[in-house]
Copies of this chain bind each other. A is one copy, B any other.
Amino acid sequence: MEKINIKRLAEELNLSTSTISRALQDSYQIGPETKQRVVEMAKKLNYVPNPHASSLGSRKSNTIAVVIPEVFDSYFAQAINGIETVAQEKGYHVLIYLTHERLEQEQAILRAFQGGRVDGVIMSVSAETTAATHMQELRDQNVPIVFFDRTPDEVDTACVTTNDLESSYLATKHLLERRCTTVLLLAISRDLSIMRQRIEGYRRALTEAGLPFTEDNILDCTYDDEVNYELLTKFLKARPYTDGIVATVEKLTTSVYQACRNLGLRIPSDVKVVSFSNSRSASILNPSLTTITQPAFDSGKAAAVLLFKGLKSKKGVPLTEKLVLPSELIVRDSTAG
- Residues in chain A within 8 A of chain B (CB atoms): 1, 48-53, 55-56, 61, 63, 66, 70-72, 77-78, 80-81, 84-85, 88, 93-98, 105, 111-112, 114-117, 140, 251, 253-254, 257-258, 261, 279-281, 283-288
The reply to whether A48 and B111 contact each other, CB–CB distance below 8 Å, is yes
A258 and B284 contacting across the interface, CB-CB below 8 Å: yes
**In the bound complex, CA of A285 to CA of B257 (Å):** 10
Bound Cα distance from A78 to B76, whole angstroms = 12
Known: A72-B78, A84-B98, A96-B84. A284 touches B286 (CB 8 A): yes
Q: Which residues of B contact A71 (CB under 8 A)?
A: 77, 80-81, 84
What residue of chain B has the Cβ atom nearest to residue A56's Cβ? B52
10 contacts between A and B (CB under 8 A): A48-B115, A49-B115, A51-B112, A52-B56, A53-B56, A71-B80, A72-B78, A88-B97, A93-B117, A286-B288
**Whole-angstrom CA separation of A77 from B98 in the bound complex:** 12
Min Cβ gap A86→B in Å is 12
How many copies the complex holds: the figure is 2
Closest to A260 in B: B284
Asked if A48 and B114 sit within 8 Å, CB to CB, the answer is yes
The answer to whether A284 and B253 touch (CB under 8 A), given A48-B111, A50-B56, A77-B72, is yes
**Complexed CA–CA distance, A1 and B142 (Å):** 13
Measured between C-beta atoms, what is the minimum distance from A226 to chain B in Å?
13
Closest to A140 in B: B1
Cβ contacts under 8 Å, A105 to chain B: 88
The CA-CA distance from A112 to B49 in the complex, in Å, is: 8
CA distance A139 to B284 in the complex (A): 44
Q: A48-B115, A84-B96, A251-B280 are in contact. List 20 more A-B contacts (CB 8 A).
A: A1-B140, A50-B115, A51-B115, A51-B116, A51-B117, A52-B52, A52-B61, A66-B96, A71-B84, A72-B77, A80-B96, A81-B98, A84-B97, A84-B98, A85-B98, A94-B95, A96-B96, A253-B284, A254-B284, A286-B288
A106 → chain B closest CB, angstroms: 12
A285 touches which of B61, B81, B94, B281 (Cβ 8 Å): B281
Q: Which of B49, B70, B279 lies in contact with A281, CB distance below 8 A?
A: B279
- Complex CA gap A248/B266 in Å reads 32
- Give the docked Cα–Cα distance between A260 and B81 (Å): 30
Which residues of chain B have C-beta atoms less than 8 A from A280's C-beta?
A: 72, 251, 254
- In contact, A88 and B98 (Cβ under 8 angstroms): yes
Residue of B with least CB distance to A117: B51
Cα A279 to Cα B282 with chains together (Å): 12
Task: List the B side residues contacting A61 at CB < 8 Å.
Answer: 52
A94 CA to B95 CA, complexed, in Å: 6
Residues of B within 8 A of A80 (CB): 71, 96
CA distance A96 to B87 in the complex (A): 11
Interfacial chain B residues near A140, Cβ < 8 Å: 1
Question: In the docked arrangement, what's the CA distance between A80 and B94, Å?
Answer: 14
Q: A333's closest neighbor in chain B, by CB?
A: B286
Q: Is A117 within 8 A of B286, CB to CB?
A: no
CA distance A71 to B84 in the complex (A): 10
